[in-house]
Structures are given as C-alpha cells and as structure tokens.
Structure 1
Amino acid sequence: MAGHKKEFDVIIVGGSYAGLSAAMALGRSLRETLVIDSGEPCNRQTPHSHNFLTQDGKTPKEISSLARQQVGQYRTVHFLEGIALAGAKTKSGFEIVTQAGGHLRGRKLIFATGVRDKMPDIPGFAACWGISVIHCPYCHGYEYRHRRTAVMANGDRALHLASLVSNLTGELTVLTNGKADFTDEQTSKLKAHGIPVSEKEVKRIDHLNGYMQQVLFQDGTKLHVDALYASIPFGQHTGIPLSLGCALTEQGYLQVDGAHRTTVPGIFACGDNSSRMRSVANAVSGGNLAGAMANLELAADRF
C-alpha cells in the first residue's frame, strides 16, 4: 500500500495488465511508483483469456493476480485501491486527486485506464458480453470454431469482422439490426462467400449464464447461434487525461506516439485506452514500453 507517501516518480492510473506491466518496468528501475486501481477490469466477465503466450486459457483473474504478486516484489512499487477523480499540472509534474480525498504527486503520469463499452439497449446483451457476445476473433474465435455464429455490425465494420470470422466457421450470419449499409461490392462479397444478411431488428438475446442460445427479433422470429461478434461504441473510462489536455484520435482513443507519449509532455497512455488491438498480450506489451519510456524521461531529466 502507498501508506502516507504522497510523492512519486510515476503515478499509474489503472492497475490491470497494461498498468502492472508498466509498474514492473519502473520497479526494476528503482522508480518510486504508485499504481491506483479500482479493481474492476473491463474483461472481468470473460471466462478465459487466450492468445497470450504462457498464459493461454487462464482466467483473467489468474493472470492479473500473478502479475500483481510479481510486481509487488519490487519495493519501490506501491498500490492504492481506489478511484482517481481529477488531475492537475504542477511545477514539478502532476497531481492526482482520489475519491478518498488523497492528493498525490508524480513527476510523470501513465494512464492505463482502458475504455468503457457502451452496451446497446438489448436485454441479454450485457450479461453475455465477454462470454458469448464477443469482440475479437483472436481472443475468442478459436473456442467458437465451427459453431453457429453471427456478426452484429454494419457497413465496413461488418465486412471486416465477417472476413475474419468466416475462416473459423461456415455457419455465419450478419445482423445489421436495421437497414443494411453495404456497397454493391460488399454485398457481392458476402453473397459470394455464402454469408446471409438479416436486417431484422434485435429484440433480445436469450442465454443461460451468459452463454447464448438464440437471438429473438422484433418480428418474433429467432436465430439460433452460439456466439455473436458485436462492434459497439466505447468511451474513455476517465476524463482526467482530457482535462489535462491530452488529445483523442478520431476513433476516440488517446493519441500516442510510438513511445506511448500522449500529446501532453510527461503523460503516457497504454492498453485499451490508446489501442484498437484489445488483448492482454497487447496491453502487456504497451505497458512495458510506456514504463520504459517514462523511466527514460526521468533519467534524461536528472542526468
């Protein structure tokens, strides 16, 4: 725990895979580091994590618990369970205010805060999210190979997902949940690959403990599927980076360069908040680099 310490070399907001990876890099460089975490990662409903070497098939909790244990061995890394509410620039760096009223100062900031998915108003959708309603063929597709599958998306995004998922199953349907928005060329591609398109509006998803059984449409018809890939909007999990002046990309991610620097000097971002590739492996990689680059700047400031 952080105890009564108020000043750190780096404050990391978010203590899941990206944040812990950044903390390890900093701990191994003897940097006084604080990790602030609420304990609610976005993949907490996901039964198993995949496509991450040495950890394939482990639960998200198993991976994060082991990571926390290993990072905790570095004595300069401190943990604070809580929520960061606000941030401000100071003469020597930045200040973070927590929900508990703490005022903590760091020379550098790393935001590993992820994103907040905006669930559609479809009964059953949220309960299945991360279990059988999924977003990534690389993270979940193999487990649903050769199964009855649907893609709920439209336009370019639907075609992108369909092209990837069609390699995993021959039983694939695209649900546009309203009028389809495809070019003639896209429509021809879907037809050529035998992928039907349904414009029916989805009423609800019937499931058992998060595992889909069928999609019920507004007209009363049903589609029996085992998995549904969905492309849904998202927002940043915290507004603190924006309040400090960090820019967003057109897609809504925190804008970072190749070293995970945001547009504000001294502030870094890593993980889902700044990358379209939402996976544990990518989060760990990004966090490792962000931690190393923050350490590099600290060294340059001092040396």
Structure 2
Amino acid sequence: MKTQLLDVAIIGGGPAGLNAALVLGRARKHVAVIDEGRPRNAVTRKTHGFVTRDGISPGEFRWIAKEEIGSYPSVSFVPDTAVSIAGTDGHFHIATAQGATFASKKLLFAVGMKDRPLDIPGLAEVYGKSAFVCPYCDGWELRDEPLVVINKGAELMHFAPLISGWTNRFTICTNGPDELTDAEREELRRHRVPVFESPIRHIDSNDGIVRQVVLEDGTAIPCRGIFFKPDLVPGSDLPRAIGCQFSETGTVVVDAFGKTNVPGIYSAGDAASRLHQAIAAASMGAFAAAAINNELNMEAWQRNG
C-alpha cells in the first residue's frame, strides 16, 4: 500500500479535528482526518450550546461537517485507527490498524477523552438519556426536575452551586465517604441539600429514564435525572508515546494555539482542555489549524527565499 504524503495528519474526527480540517482545507493544505468513528458523545441524543446547531445529534453534526469540508479536495477522511506514530517535525510517519501509512509534516491530536467503564449498576443504561455530565449541555431539559448528583469533595462544592441554576430539587449521593470538610457540610445543610454517603446499590430506570437511585442502606431516592462526574482517560495513548507532556488532570499540555512540547505536534479539543463542550473543541481546532498553517507557510517561505 502506497504511503500518502500529507501536510497535516489529524488524529480524531470530532468537532476539534473537523474544524481544523476545514481551516486547513481552505488554506490549501493536504490533510487526512484519521478517525475510527466512535465518539464519546455518541451516547447522547443531542448536542447543545453550539449556535446554529443546537439540538443536533452527534452523528448528524459529523455528517454535515464532512459535507461542507468535501468542498475542499485536499482534505480526505480515513475511517481507521492510528496505531503508531514515529519521526520528528517535518517527517512524521503514521500507521493505521488497517495497514495504511502516511508521511506528514505536522500532526494534530484531536483524540478527545473516553470514559472508563461505569462501575455503578444501572448507570450505563441511563447515560446519555437521563444521566449526564454537563448541565450546560443538558441542564435545560432537566430544569426544575428532581435530580441526583453523584459527586464528592471539592468538585462537588463547585457543582452544587452550578446545578442550582437549573433546579433546586437535587440530592447528593457521594457513593462512599463524602470527602467534605465540616464547613462544606454545613454549607450544604444551609441550602437544604440532602447528602447521602451510602454506596449506590443500583439505579432503577425505564427505557433509559431514571426512576430512582437505590443505596446500599436501603434508601431509595426518586429522581428524573442524574448528573455525575465521569472517570475519563485520554482517547489515545499516541500523544504520550511520542513524548507529549500531560497535565495532572490528564490533558495534553498546549499553548494558546494548541502547540505541544514536541516540535511539529499540536493538540486540540477535549484531549487538551477540560472545557468539554463541542463549540469549545471546534474553536480550539480552528486556532490550532491556523497556527499549523502559519508554521508550514513560514517554513516554505524560508526554504524558497
């Protein structure tokens, strides 16, 4: 199989990778978007908070994006998984699971994050239907409903005031020790927020809609929705394998334009940020693409001067 020569290889075809492909295609760069087609947000029925696309399904979002990018013939889509990357700036080599090979001057990792297996019985059945992770994405649909928040510690004390903008009818399940200070417990009591530390036995639901959360001590908490803190890991091991630095929160360390510590390698979207929203990822992809294009143009200018 012949090795394809590229200006930029984009690993990952979510909002970040797609918007980067659009910008680079319009800049006349030869680009391949390598994506296995298994996005983390596939569990959700609708994507929200993206102006002109509010309420669109993740699948339709990708279809429309590919249709638009199809106007730029220098961009191709590769339904495959990148399994190895080697080389240095200007001379990267990518191999895929299906045996394709690419030689690329620059790399953009838009690999996102992925969920570890959900270890609460019944949570997988409601995830994306009535259990969510982001109120900006799904809080409107659950406004004024009785909810259960599954979280603990410092992150809980950030989330509780946040979710109160959508409903004041929520109960906290910490699924074990709450990891709160006495002052934090008192703050929740002042706001009349019930807190249960007993581990969760299971979540009862009907056709994906939660009915109640049942605890090991027998407590049953009726609710219409759940917000929980997911356990996330990078969507690919390739950035770490080629030497990209990672933050303590598990994201690739980048500058304001997506540049990593490895020359010629950029990252954008959820892989490089904790701002896990489609519109934020698309924005990061656009900025990273512009920085990559500028780098390529400057290198060509200097070679030809």
1:210 aligns with 2:208: yes
CA distance in 2, matches of 1:144, 1:176: 21
| Number of residue-to-residue matches in the alignment | 301
Aligned counterparts of 1:209 and 1:10: Cα–Cα separation in 2 = 43
- Provide the C-alpha distance between the structure 1 equivalents of 2:158 and 2:88, rounded to a whole number of angstroms: 45
Whether contact under 8 Å (2:3, 2:101) holds in the other structure is: no
Alpha-carbon deviation of 1:170? 1.6
Shift of 1:209: 2.9
Question: Equivalent residue of 2:63, what SS?
Answer: helix
CA deviation vs aligned residue, 1:237-267 (integer Å, no higher than 9, x gap): 1111111100100111111110111111111
- Separation in structure 2 between the aligned mates of residue 172 and residue 249 of structure 1, nearest angstrom: 32
2:36 is the counterpart of 1:34: no
**Aligned partner (choices 259, 283, 295) of residue 297 of structure 1:** 295
Distance in 2, Cα, partners of 1:28 & 1:120: 41
Separation of aligned partners in 2, 1:91 and 1:129 = 40
AA partner of residue 265 (structure 1): P
2-structure distance, mates of 1:247, 1:65: 33
SS in 1 for 2:271: coil
Taking the aligned partners of 2:206 and 2:107, their CA distance within structure 1 comes to 42
Give the superposition deviation at 1:207.
Answer: 1.7
Letter in 2 for 1:295: N
Q: 3-state SS of the aligned residue for 1:157?
A: helix
Q: How far has the Cα of 1:38 moved from its partner?
A: 0.5
Question: Unaligned regions of 5+ residues in structure 1, if any?
Answer: none
Give a deviation string over 1:137-160, Cα, whole Å, max 9, x none.
111111100001111111111111
How far 1:120 sits from its partner (Å)?
A: 3.2
Q: Alignment RMSD, CA only?
A: 1.4
Q: Secondary structure in 2 aligned to 1:104?
A: strand
Distance 2:44 2:55 in 1: 11
Equivalents in 1 of 2:262, 2:215: separation in Å? Answer: 47
The aligned residue for residue 61 of structure 2 is: 63
Distance 1:131 1:170 in 2: 21
CA distance in 2, matches of 1:144, 1:59: 18
What secondary structure does 1:44 align onto?
helix
The 5 Å alignment of 1:183-222 reads 183-222=181-220
1:39/1:91 Cα in 2 relative to 1: closer, same or farther (>3 Å)? closer
What is the CA-CA distance between 1:168 and the residue it aligns to? 1.0
The alignment-based identity, stated in percent, is 36
Which of 79, 95, 98 pairs up with 2:96?
98
Give the residue type in structure 1 aligned to 2:142: Y
Output the CA distance in 2 between the equivalents of 1:48 and 1:274.
23
* Residue 161 (str. 1) matches residue 159 (str. 2): yes
CA shift, 1:42, in A, is 0.5
Distance 2:146 2:89 in 1: 58
Q: What secondary structure, in the 3-state scheme, does the structure 2 residue paired with 1:291 have?
A: helix
Q: How far apart, in 2, do the equivalents of 1:79 and 1:175 lie? A: 43
2:40 aligned with 1:46:
no
Secondary structure of 1:56's partner? coil
Q: 1:4 to 1:77 in 2, by over 3 A?
A: farther
Q: CA deviation at 1:119?
A: 3.2
Q: Determine helix, strand or coil for the equivalent of 2:272.
A: coil
SS of residue in 1 equivalent to 2:269: coil
Matches within 5 A, 1:143-292: 143-292=141-290
Letter aligned with residue 46 of structure 2:
H
2:119 alignment partner, one of 118, 121, 125? 121
> Which residue of 1 is the match for residue 16 of structure 2?
18
Distance (Å, rounded) in 2 between the aligned partners of 1:39 and 1:91: 27
Q: Which amino acid aligns with 2:238?
A: I
Does the 8 Å contact 1:119/1:125 carry over to 2?
no
Letter of the aligned partner of 2:214 in structure 1? L
Is the 1:93–1:266 Cα contact (8 Å) retained in structure 2? no
Residues 88 and 263 in structure 2, CA contact (< 8 A), matched pair in contact too: no
Cα distance in structure 1, aligned partners of 2:36 and 2:274: 23
Q: Distance in 2 between matches of 1:69 and 1:19?
A: 15
CA distance in 1, matches of 2:218, 2:65: 47
CA distance in structure 1 between the aligned counterparts of 2:90 and 2:283, rounded to whole angstroms: 28
